[in-house]
Chains A and B, each alone.
Chain A
Amino acid sequence: MGTPAMTVKAVPREITMQAPVARCADQGSISRLASIAAGEPFETDTHDAIGTEDAVLEVRDFKLWYGEKQALFDIAMNIPRGRVTALIGPSGCGKSTLLRSVNRMNDLIDSVRIDGQMLLSGESVYGPEVDVIELRKRMGMVFQKSNPFPMSIFENVVYPLRIDGIRDRSVLEEVCERSLRGSALWEEVKDRLKDSALGLSGGQQQRLCIARAIAAEPEVLLMDEPCSALDPMATGRIEDLIHELRGAYTVLMVTHNMQQASRTSDYTAFMYLGRLIEYGATEDIFLNPHLRETADYITGRFG
């Protein structure tokens, strides 16, 4: 899995496994976890590094309920523009829920209720006058399991444009090529654009979904465990890809893979039981976490 990504942003695994415990001065872990579980309010430890960045997405006191059950508690975080931000945390802590709240996919679930605010480039996401459809067009989303549409590769990629009513063949072809090149799939499929997308391999399908997500040049790219169903080779390619998208796109990515988070992201947010626990530069979170819970989670001591 030797990838160029590692040379840019790599944090060697050995360090992440040992260093935090040694350097973490914080000792109040057990009582704090218990108090979080008991539902007491918790102040996120947000590193100063976040404040130096230009935020494309601001989340303010965001709460979310599935029916009676609260899944997100007072989330406050700024997602820096043009950077890759990773969301980590144990299963069921609300990472997907938070990600899906950004492009309001949770609207599709009847029982969901929200409170708080989100701002995308300064404009409200949940305001009463917001057109959800237009809002979603400003973001791309990649799901855990690839979900190509039952149509040709070409039509899959240009789907976001098609639903905007764009018919101009030359525009569509140009976007198709650019997006497929962007997702590193062009060379493999350029001769079979008319074939069904369902005939591609799993890794190719996932890269196709990424191509589709970036076709409309979104402001934010949301990825929910994009590599969890892929083999190491395909994972490597997609990690490379995320790295290349960096700068041009803002990426918010959920992952369970600590190495992946450390290799590909600039910033990392650690969530636990619906709270944002600690949020800072990836290097700091992995090498120098402020909180003991973060260190424990990263070294695999719980979660």
Chain B
Amino acid sequence: MVWLTGGALVLSVLMVAGLLLLVVTEGVSTFWPGPLVEVTLDDGRVLLGEVNRVEEDPGSTARITTRTMLRTGNFDVSGTHFTWFDDAAVTRTEEPEWAVLFERNSWGRFYGIPQELLIDGEVVADTPAAVWRRFLQLHGPCRDRLVERRSLERDEMGRLNARREEARLRVRAALLDHPEGSLPVLQARENQQKIDDAADEEFEGIAARIEQLDTENRRYAIRVLTADGSGKVMALDEIVRAFPANRQGTGGKLTIYLSRAFEFIFDEPREANSEGGVFPAIVGTLVMTLIMCMLVVPFGILAALYLREYARAGWAVSAVRIAINNLAGVPSIVFGVFGLGFFCYILGAWIDGGPTSPASAGSWFVYLGLLLALLGAAVFATWHRTRLPPARRSEQNFLLWVVPALWSGVALLFVTVVWFSPWFNGFYRAELPNPTFGKGGLLWASFTLALLTLPVVIVATEEALAAVPGSMREGSYACGASKFQTIWRIVLPRAMPGIMTGIILAMARGAGEVAPLMLVGAVKLAPELPVSAVDWSGSVGPLPTLFVHSERSFMHLGFHIFDLGFQSQNSEAAKPMVFTTTLLLISIVVILNVFSIWIRGRLRKKFVASGGF
């Protein structure tokens, strides 16, 4: 028995360790630059690239039965990223000193030997060494210009467009409430005209600057000789990073490694996510997890407090508890479907455009009156119950179910009154038919995941509350503390470490969940981050604040992994990124957990550690 149980444990530990080892080794080695090899085959072909994989070739009859996959790049010239060849067919292998690896904005990597450097079409250098020297001088400024150009294009022009869009929506909003030609509409149009004019003017300035940067960048180009002897001219600003891999010492390789890792974490993805960074996905994951926590933690704790401390044990409470436990076992995609159907299409649509079939004003007032009457009854019953002497058992028991029933009725009517209000027309009506909240987005994704992780928090909190010794509660009551004071001052602090455990579990689960996110707002490539720094200067004060655009779609590391691994056209090239992104996701979850565990440890030291006896 010992061997069986111990063996099972060892096996599980080994599997987990193996998984982590695979992810870590693959993930860490992704950015390390390998040598560039030039192979000559017996059919006369010459290939240059990085060895991607060597494997046994079952169909081979030659003495050497392995075959190699070389990452040969140059997709725009050759139409392929990778080339297989039989090792038996190799006649010569070399590592040419001046073979250079170019990483580009598009078309993937390029391998070749620098031949000429061109400025304004004139050759200024024509040996690899000289070309490389000039390249190093010119490349930096070219990239800087490109970065400036991009920022102008995206940030500045984006700002202008946002302003125009806002003015346009004002006009639409005015038109929804007023007839054409009325004063508010005219004012809105005038405002739009003014903003358009100002934007046009500014736009011209920006366009001119962009043109200037482009012209300057167009002057610089490099001609590269590929392995098969053809040449290719590339503009310098197209090149993200280039280095003669075979000339690099360890220091040089380390620099390249760090530069790639830095780009990975702090830059945006390029080439359909298979290259570049994952910064938007990191931000998306973190922000979503945080919002989810802010939603699930108070709700979960309150619900657990009610179940454990206030509700009277009975079949209803048991049923709720069983339901909550079952909720934890529901497949996560079901939550995604619910999130899409309820949060996005019902709640979101209501926020955007108000009720689809509002009540008539008359019946709405009837509802309102009913609500107020029921509210009065509920308040009275609650008050009456608290001052009823315990001796009047039958009346007590009667009120025991009347009070919750009344309050449920109040809640239901309140929702009805708000939901069917004829006075509410939605906050984003002008944008319709383009949905604002009526589609997947950060907020709804957080809501969905909060729902998904709610059982985790409730169960953990309930257990933590149950573990608070009864003697502590009694001690508090004996001091003359009320129930609320006892819970607030004794029970909650004491249960805090256990509650933290629940939060940690919920966070880990939420951060790693993918399936429901695909339905409620995670996207392959989000045009904008879901957070932005808002400069309030002018309105409230000079405080730059982070603003969370809770309606925007966002990128998520888990979804990113799925996308890279299964949706990428160039899956072979994306494969290393899968591991690196996985490693990053695991690291983020681990960091979140370590942080919470640290807090929990401090709380535990403070509240639970027991001396004596």
Contact = CB atoms under 8 A, between A and B. Distances in A.
A160 B611 contact: no
The size class of the interface chain A forms with chain B is: 35 or more
A269 B233 CA distance: 107
A205 B493 contact: no
Contacts of B490: 149-150
Contact of A196 (B312, B389, B477, B609): B609
Contact of B479 (A134, A200, A212): A212
B10 interface: no
Interface stretch (A83-91, A136-144, A241-249, A254-262): A136-144
The size class of the interface chain B forms with chain A is: 20 to 34
Given A150-B608, A229-B613, A162 B474 contact: no
B493 A133 contact: no
A267 interface: no
Nearest to A156: B475
B538 to A, nearest CB: 42
A150 B607 contact: yes
A166 interface: no
Given A150-B606, A162-B489, A229-B613, A134 B480 contact: yes
Nearest to A202: B612
Contacts of B493: 150-151
B478 interface: yes
A39 interface: no
A202 to B, nearest CB: 4
A264 interface: no
A199 interface: yes
Interface in B586-613: 605-613
B479 A145 contact: no
A34 interface: no
B477 A108 contact: yes
B480 A147 contact: no
Nearest to A115: B391
B482 interface: yes
Contacts of A201: 611-612
Nearest to A159: B479
B475 A147 contact: yes
Given A163-B480, A198-B608, A149 B613 contact: no
A201 B611 CA distance: 6
A204 interface: yes
Interface in A168-223: 196, 198-205, 209, 212-213, 216
A209 B477 contact: no
B609 A199 contact: yes
A256 B485 CA distance: 34
A146 interface: yes
Tell me which of A110, A143, A196 has the highest count of chain B C-beta atoms within 10 A of its own C-beta. A196
B476 A159 contact: yes
A160 B479 contact: yes
A56 to B, nearest CB: 18
Contact of A143 (B474, B489, B608): B474
A220 to B, nearest CB: 12
Interface string B528-559: 00000000000000000000000000000000
Given A108-B474, A200-B611, A163 B389 contact: no
Interface of B: 312, 389-391, 469, 471-472, 474-482, 485, 489-490, 493-494, 605-613
5 smallest A-B Cβ distances: which pairs?
A137-B480, A150-B607, A141-B478, A202-B612, A147-B471
20 contacts: A103-B478, A136-B478, A137-B479, A146-B612, A147-B471, A149-B472, A149-B490, A150-B490, A151-B607, A162-B489, A163-B482, A163-B489, A164-B480, A196-B606, A196-B607, A196-B609, A198-B610, A201-B611, A203-B612, A209-B475
